[in-house]
């Protein structure tokens, strides 16, 4: 019930002027978030938030700390386990360095591409009221979406064009886009799965993820990972 209540607050359109600009003029700070778990204790995790300048993509702020995670893992409800610690990270930033608040967050996970159309990127966006984009490395097989031969063939075609194709479920709804964003990743068989989180359109989400990519994974998320590994001792 709580998930359905929060889902009603999701906005699937652009709400900021910079989002409508082809060059994203007016965008100066892009954030990335991730939660990773200790191999020794699944009830402790590293919650990480980084903020990068845009378009230079240089790190302006980082917050990475070990935190207790109390909610159990339940498929389709991962956000209830992870989002509270990410909201706390955003709130710390707003209190300590309010001038560095990100204008958009890239989330290592899904948004509308979710069993009930309300993944971590949506959940975090609604609770923080920040534009959020889901960026996943693997296809979540929901609403009839499967990683079958047709899907694999569509993915292979992207290696030649560098373009994207929509993920349309059996319901007829476009849940996200599959795309390569960097020529350095064209020899990989692993694209990105981009979906709307909150206060951004799908087209803008794909354009921004592309603009933030130097390698396969966009920099706001790529820069989170080394800091998480350090905290976890990996």
Higher pLDDT, 164 or 160: 164
Residue 55 has pLDDT above 70, yes or no: yes
**Ranges of each domain in the chain:** 1-224
Structure confidence at residue 182 as a pLDDT band (50, 70, 90): low
CB contact set of 8 (below 8 Å; sequence gap of 6+) = none
Residue 181 has pLDDT above 80, yes or no: no
Helix, strand or coil, per DSSP, at residue 87: helix
Spatial separation of the C-alpha atoms in residues 197 and 98, rounded to whole Å: 22
Structure confidence at residue 49 as a pLDDT band (50, 70, 90): very high
Spatial separation of the C-alpha atoms in residues 6 and 180, rounded to whole Å: 31
Task: Pull the structure tokens for residue 122.
Answer: 């949506």
Mean pLDDT in residue range 108-115: 95
In this prediction, residue 67 carries a pLDDT of 87
User: pLDDT tens across 3-45, in order?
Assistant: 999 999 999 999 999 999 999 999 999 999 999 887 777 788 8
User: pLDDT tens across 139-159, in order?
Assistant: 999 999 998 998 888 888 876
Q: What is the secondary structure of 176-224 as a DSSP string?
A: EEEE---GGGTT-S--EEEEEEESS-HHHHHHHHHHTBSSSSBHHHHTH
In this prediction, residue 37 carries a pLDDT of 84
Looking at the chain, list the stretches that DSSP marks H as alpha helix, in order from N- to C-terminal side.
Answer: 2-7, 17-20, 78-96, 120-128, 149-161, 202-211, 219-222, 224-232
CB contact set of 59 (below 8 Å; sequence gap of 6+) = 50, 51, 52, 223
In this prediction, residue 231 carries a pLDDT of 58
Structural domain 1-224, CATH architecture: 2-Layer Sandwich (3.30)
Spatial separation of the C-alpha atoms in residues 204 and 217, rounded to whole Å: 17
**Cis previous bond, 131, omega within 30:** no
Half-sphere exposure of 56 (CA within 13 A, CB side): 7
Do 62 and 231 contact (CB within 8 A), yes or no? no
This prediction's pTM: 0.91
Spatial separation of the C-alpha atoms in residues 4 and 27, rounded to whole Å: 31
């Amino acid at each position: 019930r709580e998930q359905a209540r929060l889902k009603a607050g999701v906005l699937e359109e652009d709400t900021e002027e910079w989002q409508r600009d082809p060059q994203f003029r007016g965008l100066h700070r892009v954030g990335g978030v991730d939660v990773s778990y200790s191999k020794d204790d699944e009830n402790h995790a590293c919650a990480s938030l980084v903020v990068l300048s845009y378009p230079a993509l240089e790190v302006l702020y980082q917050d990475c700390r070990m935190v207790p995670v109390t909610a159990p893992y339940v498929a389709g409800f991962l956000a209830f386990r992870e989002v509270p610690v990410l909201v706390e990270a955003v709130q710390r930033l707003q209190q300590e360095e309010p001038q560095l608040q990100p204008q958009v967050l890239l989330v290592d996970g899904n948004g509308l591409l979710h069993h009930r159309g309300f993944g971590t990127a949506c959940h975090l966006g609604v609770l923080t009221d920040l534009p959020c984009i889901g960026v996943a490395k693997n296809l979540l097989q929901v609403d009839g979406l499967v990683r079958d031969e047709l899907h694999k063939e569509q993915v292979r075609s992207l290696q030649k064009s560098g373009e994207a194709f929509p993920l349309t479920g059996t319901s007829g709804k476009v849940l996200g886009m599959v795309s390569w964003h960097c020529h350095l990743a064209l020899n990989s068989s692993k694209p990105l799965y981009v979906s709307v989180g909150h206060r951004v359109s799908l087209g803008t989400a794909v354009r921004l993820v592309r603009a933030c990519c130097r390698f396969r994974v966009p920099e706001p998320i790529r820069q989170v990972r080394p800091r998480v590994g350090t905290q976890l001792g990996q």
